[in-house]
Every structure is written in structure tokens, then in C-alpha cells.
Chain A
């Protein structure tokens, strides 16, 4: 019974509802105060766990603070100058960007169709979903180890053994060739995240009213047309969220290249976070690493928000 009323009523009343929303949903001043109060916990968390430490880091970035002695002398922009003059920083930047963009595109392209399939009924659905989700569970340290055995460039490596037994292919230098190593790290990153992002899309798929598809079916739309005309546009909010997460997490990536290739061969899979850890923790040059962190945070912020803007705009066009 609800099938017919819901789409028509929401469709027809949408413009009026939008106009009315501001006034009626906000309510009187008392309600407004309560509304604002709902924000307080998040703001407190934000200020104490992010703003204060970040400001402290900002201060340290202008000092020669070592991370061991409480003394810190103001040295101006020296740390920033040093970072900008360091050639190994550039190599870290290249792979970090490549990884972030690569995983974002690939995971998005794979997770949406996967979510659509996982949403259908089939035998063993729960087990399959769990298996897809599993790579998000254990720590990256152990997954990095497992993959380094699988992708070992030696003839005794797991993948190389399979390739030579089944196809007679000679040992492939998965992790010891620059291009292949970059490719391998990105593929493992995709493997680790696709399932969880598919689950995220799955949650959003649930909010698409079944009636839309029924109406489309009556109009004679093929499954393909349904996907592009209904599913994809309605998944846009999910895509905004998911791609923002992928991109920012990709930029912050540390564990995976660190355990799988340790940044190698050479600097092929070296990341910015790795140099952050090496200078800050290993070398104890906390001032320098704070400067790096500040620049990095700004860069991630700019990239992340630009991307958010673009995807939201695309999303709005569809909606």
C-alpha cells in the first residue's frame, strides 16, 4: 500500500517542504538552544584532541625542539626552508599522491558494483560479505607481512609459484621493480579497503526506496539503465563521503608501505608520513617533523576540501 503513496507524495511536496523546513524544524529559541547544545560535545572533542595539539605543533615547528629536552629555541622559518630543500621529500610526495589518487579511483570503481551485487540475494551472502570485509579487520602490520610472502620476487614466492605452475611464467619482480612495487602496494591497498567501502555503500543502498526500481521496471528500464538512472545518482552522497575518506586516508598512509616494502626499492614507495616518523621519532627532530606535519596537514586539507567541493557539486547536479 505504501508503495504508491511514498514516491508521489515526497516528489510533489519537495519544493514546499524545503522552503518550510528552516522555520518549522528549527522551532522556537528554546529549541534552537537545545539544537546548539547538541554540538557541544563534538566541539569539546575537537578543541581538546585536535586544535590544541595542532597549535602546539605549530609553535614547535618554529623551534629547534628535539623531543627529549624541554628546551626549545625559536628559529623562525628554518625548519620549513630545510624541508623545501630536501630532495627525498619530493619522492615521498610523488608516491603518496599516486597512492591516494590510485586507491580512491580504483576502490570507488570496484566498491559500488560490489555493493550492488552484495545487496542481491544469493547463497552464502553473509559469508561472502564477511570475507570481503575481513581485510579491514587485522592490523596492517600483519597483512603487510602476509602480502610480502605472497608477492615475494623469489621463485619460491607464493604468487610466483602459482604463476609458474599454472602458466609457466618466470618469476616476476613484484616488489623489487619500482613500477611493479608501486602497483603492488596500491593493489594491496585496494584489496584492504574495497570491502569496507562496499559495506558503506550497502548502507546507503538501503535508503533507496524499492519503489523507484519498481516504477522503472514498469517503464521498461533495463537493469543497466536502472543502475545509471537510479542507483548511481542516489549513491552520490555516499560517494562524497567515501571518496573523501579514501583520499585523506590515502594521503596519510603509513603502515602498509612501511610493512610491505619499507618505502623501497629505493624511494619508490616512500611516503610523507614515513619521513614524518623518521625525522620526528627516529631522529628526535621534533621541531622539524612538526613543520613537516603542519605543511602536510595544510596540503591534505587543501586537497581534501577541493575534492569534497567537486564531488558535492557533482552530487548536487544529480540530486
Chain B
């Protein structure tokens, strides 16, 4: 009774072993003069694989050995573990979450002056650079603002998102009076509204808001409190339910696609899902309205940039540069845009975007984007977790806007 069972199990194990051994014996291609470049991709396999195939077809002397890890937390952890153990991939991405650590540890190669870095927008180069050095080849950016249901807005006499915050709040009130749920914003991350308002502020101040906070000449309390006070009016004036603290982006998107809300915070990643779910929906993106001393703006950032590991040998680094050159070429950028739908920011290719997203394209290509987490100069993750949690508490009415800012100051000084 028992021994046949054991045999079967052992048999399966042996078969599987044979299979896996067969699989791993085929991967070293050094013998025939090609260079193997290991690559940890941020972009999913389905999108990345065709690009790698196209590259390898053109460059038969370089083989890309790609592996995939889903962003963000898992990717950061996998990369961190491998960098630390001396088995870093030759090409990987620097993201907002790990750029400070990677740069300070000297784990990435300075790419400034490389031909493929020309024609990339300065905003993207600056995001992943420091002190004149450039560490990441960031090909695209994303922007998030508001998505609105045109019919619902027309119903109360508006043809778009108003330019000022006060007008916007009046519009939300009108929508509410007309029986619509006026606005939902997912607060599982830093609210898009807050990021955009901060962005408008920092674009008008010199030195930037974050330079002032981080060099000690200003505080979160001074810079953030007025903005948080305005943002909090959504909740204190009863326009938006405090339930948003438990919503994620996908849930808010679904409410919008099902025409249960007039305005939501949104980025380009909702376009396909909304259009598939509700092809009839007449909708568009708009910028976040400006405060009296500000202007309409948007949240957003440069996409993570491709970087080359400093621990790879010279020959491999050269091959990695060939790969990056191809990625930044017109063909590479075009394929990247088609696979990911990202708005690319290179000079050699003009991306085509869905008409609903048109209002956001210019700000992206101009680099008018802001995300606190990327602009912060240290403790990004810890501050972000703190900020999101404290904003949630503010929305619930447990603390005031000034307490949120004070908590961030306390966190920064600890």
C-alpha cells in the first residue's frame, strides 16, 4: 500500500529533476563570443520580451538574460538582496524608492555624457541624478490628475475641471445637490491632489519647497499646513465621504467606470480598463485646480530609469551600454511606448496617446510633475508611510492639518 505510493512520488521527483537540469544547462553562451548581460526587469515579461528579442536580433553578440520581479516592494527587495550579495544584475532600474541607497553605495555607473543619454528630457535625467552625475536612463514619465465624467459635469453646467480650487469645490457642491457622488480620491497612497498642489507651490519657489525643508530653513509645518487645510475642506465641508481612506486606485476606477462618481483622481493606467468596461463613457483627464497663490498642476514622476551595475566587468558594461543605446533609439522607444502605453519623453519619438489623456501630455513632456516621495532627499519611504497614515487620520477627523505636518517634522528629525 505504501511503497507504490513512495515509488510514484520518487518517480515524479526524478522526472522533475531531469527537466530542471536540462533547463539550466543551456544558459551559458560565452563560448561562441557573445556577452551575456543579466537584466532584472521592472516591466512585465509580456511587454519586455518582444523588445529583448528585437534587440538580440540586431545585436547577435549580446545575449540578454532577463528576469522579472513585480514592482514595487518585491522588486526593491530582490534587487537589494542581490546587490548586497555581489550578484547584482548587470542592468536593473533605479526607482524613487532605492535611488538614494544605490547612489550612496556606489552600486550604479555614472551614465552622463553617454550618447544615449542625449535627447532625454532634463527632468528625467535630474530625477535619477546627483551632483552632475546621471545614473538612470528614464524613457518616460507619468502624470496623474483628475478624470471626470463629461455628462455629469455638463448636467450641472461645467465643461471641464475649473482652474481654481474654490470653483472646484463649488462644482462638487453642485454635483452633490444634483444627486451625484461628486468626488472620490484613493488615499492608500499620497493623495494626487496634495502632490499636485505641492508641485504647483514648489515650481513657483526658489529654492524648492523640499530644498528648504531638508536644509532646515523651513519645515513641513510651514510649507504643508496651508495646502492640507485646503485639501481637508473636501471632508470638513461634507463633499467627500471619509470612507475614501479605505479605497485603492482600482476600486475608485471601478466606481468611475460604472458611472457612480463624477470625478476621481487618476493616471494613465486606468484608460484601458475604463474604456473596456464602459466604451460609451464620455470622459477626459484634467489638471488638479490651483490654490489662490498657485496654478493648476499634476502629480507625477519620471519612470524608473535603466541603470548599469558598477560591479559588472568592463566588457559586460560595454554590452549593457549597447542594450541601453538600443532602448533609447527611436525603434526602442517606439516599442517601449507601444508595449507599455507610457508617455515617452525622448526627442526622437513623439508618442501617440489616447485622446482622453491629451490634457496631460504637455505637462509630462515639459516635466511639470511632482511627487513628494521622489523629491524628498532622505527617509523617503518612512516619511511616505507616515504622511499617508496621518492624512488618513486627518480625513477621519481625528487630527488637524497642522498635526499632519508636525508629525512629518517629528519623523524627519528623529
Would A and B touch once assembled, by the CB under 8 A criterion? yes
Chain A min CB distance to B257 (Å): 11
CB contact between B76 and one of A86, A156, A266, A281 (< 8 Å): that residue: A281
Stretch in A104-112, A221-229, A256-264, A293-301 touching the partner: A256-264
Q: How far is the CA of A281 from the CA of B78 in the complex (A)?
A: 9
Chain B min CB distance to A94 (Å): 14
Interface centre among B248, B382, B393, B414 (most CB of A within 10 A): B382
Cβ-based interface call for B77 (8 A)? yes
CB contact between B398 and one of A149, A261, A266 (< 8 Å): that residue: A266
Q: How far is the CA of A271 from the CA of B302 in the complex (A)?
A: 31
- The interface residues of chain A lying within 8 Å CB-to-CB of B80 are 67-68, 281, 284
Cβ-based interface call for A15 (8 A)? no
- The interface residues of chain A lying within 8 Å CB-to-CB of B243 are 153-154, 171, 173, 176
Interface residues of B in 235-267 (CB under 8 A from A): 241-248, 251, 255, 258, 260
Contact indicator A266/B77 (Cβ below 8 Å): no
Q: How large is the interface on A (under 10, 10 to 19, 20 to 34, 35 or more residues)?
A: 35 or more
Q: How far is the CA of A263 from the CA of B381 in the complex (A)?
A: 14
Contact indicator B396/A265 (Cβ below 8 Å): yes
Cβ-based interface call for B334 (8 A)? no
Given contacts A181-B246, A265-B393, contact A154 B104 (CB under 8 A): no
Residue in B closest to A260 when the chains form the complex, CB atoms? B246
CB contact between A156 and one of B83, B258, B393 (< 8 Å): that residue: B258
- The interface residues of chain A lying within 8 Å CB-to-CB of B393 are 265-267
A-B CB pair tally, cutoff 8 Å:
112
- The interface residues of chain A lying within 8 Å CB-to-CB of B98 are 68, 284
Given contacts A68-B102, A69-B105, contact A281 B73 (CB under 8 A): yes
Residue in B closest to A91 when the chains form the complex, CB atoms? B389
- The interface residues of chain A lying within 8 Å CB-to-CB of B381 are 278-279, 282-283
Chain A min CB distance to B29 (Å): 30
Cβ-based interface call for B316 (8 A)? no
- Per DSSP, chain A at the interface is loop
Chain B min CB distance to A210 (Å): 23
CB contact between A266 and one of B97, B101, B379, B389 (< 8 Å): that residue: B389
Fill in one digit per residue for B392-414: 1 if any A CB lies within 8 Å of its CB, else 0.
11011010000000000011001
Q: How far is the CA of A266 from the CA of B248 in the complex (A)?
A: 14
- The interface residues of chain B lying within 8 Å CB-to-CB of A67 are 80, 84, 101
Chain A min CB distance to B190 (Å): 13
- The interface residues of chain A lying within 8 Å CB-to-CB of B410 are 87
Q: How far is the CA of A261 from the CA of B251 in the complex (A)?
A: 13
Residue in B closest to A175 when the chains form the complex, CB atoms? B246
- Per DSSP, chain B at the interface is helix
Q: How far is the CA of A277 from the CA of B381 in the complex (A)?
A: 10
Residue in A closest to B107 when the chains form the complex, CB atoms? A68
Cβ-based interface call for A174 (8 A)? yes
Q: How far is the CA of A85 from the CA of B413 in the complex (A)?
A: 12
Chain B min CB distance to A101 (Å): 23
Q: How far is the CA of A67 from the CA of B82 in the complex (A)?
A: 10
Q: How far is the CA of A28 from the CA of B398 in the complex (A)?
A: 70
Cβ-based interface call for A168 (8 A)? no
Cβ-based interface call for B388 (8 A)? yes
Contact indicator B392/A264 (Cβ below 8 Å): yes
- The interface residues of chain B lying within 8 Å CB-to-CB of A88 are 386, 389, 411
Q: How far is the CA of A67 from the CA of B102 in the complex (A)?
A: 10
Question: Which 9 residue pairs of A and B lie closest in terms of their CB atoms, listed nearest first?
Answer: A282-B381, A69-B105, A175-B246, A68-B105, A153-B243, A266-B393, A176-B246, A284-B101, A265-B245
User: What are 10 pairs between A and B in contact, CB < 8 Å?
Assistant: A66-B101, A68-B83, A69-B104, A88-B386, A154-B251, A171-B243, A265-B393, A278-B385, A283-B379, A283-B382
Q: Which residues of A does B touch, CB under 8 Å?
A: 66-70, 82, 85-88, 148-149, 152-154, 156, 171, 173-178, 181, 261-267, 270, 277-279, 281-284
